Structure 1
Amino acid sequence: MTVPSGIYIRKARIQDVRTIHALLMDCSKQGLLLPRSYNQLYSHLRDFFVLAQDQGAILGCCALSITWDDLAEVRSLAVAPECRGQGWGRRLVEACLSDAITLGIFRIFTLTYQAHFFERLGFQVVSKDNLPQKVWADCLHCPKFPDCDEIAMSIEM
């Protein structure tokens, strides 16, 4: 698949936060992912990659969040509707996986409603019991805890 000119993946910048938030909120309303607050986005901005257009538009995002010394999470994957089905979600996740390898982290997980997408990338369904660091760090603060309906998946590279 060829990459259209003028669209590329880069690290997020401070001026991207409002657009990332709007994109995540739109996807959240569609039931595709859980929402993120502005506070969470500003606090974890360095975790994010964005799908950007030369004109400055942000068309997608994805984050790699370090959970423990040997574990990281791919989270907040969102792609604008007009860009879906073109491989951009895959490329965003691959940017996060590459970042994990660079950091020396080879066990990556995600909590998702999009299991088939992540299966095509090599992730496998796992029990949330395999992710105690995630549960104690983030899940306790989630309004869906302890009745989480996301699917836990992981990949080892």
Structure 2
Amino acid sequence: MKQAFSVRRAHMDDVKGIHSLLLQTAQKGLLLPRALIYLYSHIRNFWVVDAEDGGIAACCALAPVWQDLAEVCSLVVREDLRGKGLGRLVVEACVADCRELRIEKVFALTYQEKFFTHIGFEIVDKSVLPQKIWADCVHCPKYPDCDETAVFLTVGGDRTHG
């Protein structure tokens, strides 16, 4: 029987599960680790998918960086649940959040460019991204020699509502 997954906004009691999921991936060098205090203070940015076992199956955050620009970050799908569309669910929730916030452009820095291009993002040169986005990068051990790929999406949708 195929399990139906749904995405929801993260709650404060999800922080430790999100932290654990991010830490496992950060230890592999695939994203920046996030401290618990950071997660508690940015919980409103996060979307999650619950796993049947009660844990977090996937998470992703939308981090606004400027009036018309946001970053999709901290995207992780639990290893045993990959390939089930959970990454797409949380990224689509972030893009829908962009529409709600009237943010026109969203980007990500990623090692998973195939995933992002498959869901509509395009690969861009990092030099087209404003300097403002590099605030987190100074905490990365690979800075300033970033080997991630920049992907970008212009957010469509009805912007006339009010």
Do these two structures clear the TM 0.5 threshold for a shared fold by scoring above it? Answer: yes
- Equivalence for 2:133: 134
1:17-36 matches, cutoff 5 A: 17-36=15-34
The RMSD of aligned alpha carbons is 1.8
The answer on whether the counterparts of 1:48 and 1:63 sit within 8 Å (CA) in structure 2 is yes
CA contact (8 A) 1:32 1:114 kept: no
Query: Which residues of structure 1 form unaligned runs of 5+?
Result: none
Contact in 2 for aligned 1:66/1:73 (Cα 8 Å) = yes
What residue in structure 2 maps to residue 14 of structure 1? 12
- After TM superposition, list the pairs within 5 Å mapping 1:38-53 onto structure 2: 38-53=36-51
Q: Match for residue 3 of structure 2?
A: 4
Question: Which residue number in structure 1 is paired with residue 123 of structure 2?
Answer: 125
| Residue 59 (structure 1) shift | 1.1
Task: Please report how far the alpha carbon of residue 3 of structure 1 lies from its aligned counterpart in structure 2 after TM superposition.
Answer: 6.9
Could you tell me how far 1:19 is from its partner in structure 2? 0.8
Find the aligned partners of 1:118 and 1:33 in 2 and give their Cα distance: 15
Alignment of 1:7-156 (within 5 A): 7-53=5-51, 56-131=54-129, 132-135=131-134, 137-156=135-154
After TM superposition, the runs of 4+ consecutive aligned structure 1 residues lying more than 6 A away are: none
Change in CA separation of 1:139 and 1:32 when aligned onto 2, cut-off 3 Å:
closer
Name the amino acid aligned to 1:47.
N
Instruction: Tell me how far 1:26 sits from its aligned partner.
Output: 1.1
Residue identity matched to 2:33: P
Normalising by structure 2, we get a TM-score of 0.87
Contact 1:65 1:73 in 2 (8 A): yes
Equivalent AA in structure 2 for residue 74 of structure 1: V
Percent identity for Structure 1 against Structure 2: 47
SS at match of 1:26: helix
Give the secondary-structure state (helix, strand or coil) at the position aligned to 1:59.
strand
The TM-score with structure 1 as length reference comes to: 0.89
In 1, distance between residues paired with 2:64 and 2:47? 14
> How has the CA–CA distance of structure 1 residues 43 and 144 changed in structure 2, closer, same or farther, with 3 Å as cutoff?
farther
Structure 2: runs of 5+ lacking an equivalent: 156-162
What one-letter code is carried by the residue in structure 2 that aligns with 1:66?
P
> 1:124 Cα deviation (Å)?
1.3
